[in-house]
Amino acid sequence: MPMAASAGSPTSDVFCDDRARIVEKLETRFGATLAGRGLRGPETFVEFWVAERSGDWTMVQNYTDGRACIVAMGESWERFGPVDPA
């Protein structure tokens, strides 16, 4: 069952659901692809999903129990090339 934080809380824009359902909607409804991910802690990792045509992006925090939460969304995503290590 989808969960949302209560209104008035600092995280009232957070939407949580099963990760597979969130990924399916990002891919099929919004045309988003996974742009990158990184560990946030021992039980969480964060992913950035990007819809290249529109430039919209979504930040998803994932948990080891299979739950995921959309924690931020935006627009005008810019993709950069590899960083020069020198």
Convert the pLDDT of each residue in 38-77 to its tens digit.
999 999 999 999 999 999 999 999 999 999 999 999 999 9
pLDDT at 62: 98
pLDDT above 70 for 1: no
Phi-psi domain of 8 (left: phi exceeds 0; alpha: psi -120 through 50; beta: other): left
Structure-block tokens of residue 55: 């430039």
Residue bearing the bigger pLDDT, 5 or 85: 85
CB 69 within 8 A of CB 15: yes
- Predicted model pTM: 0.78
Q: For 2-42, what is each residue's pLDDT tens digit? A: 444 434 444 457 899 999 999 999 999 999 999 999 999 99
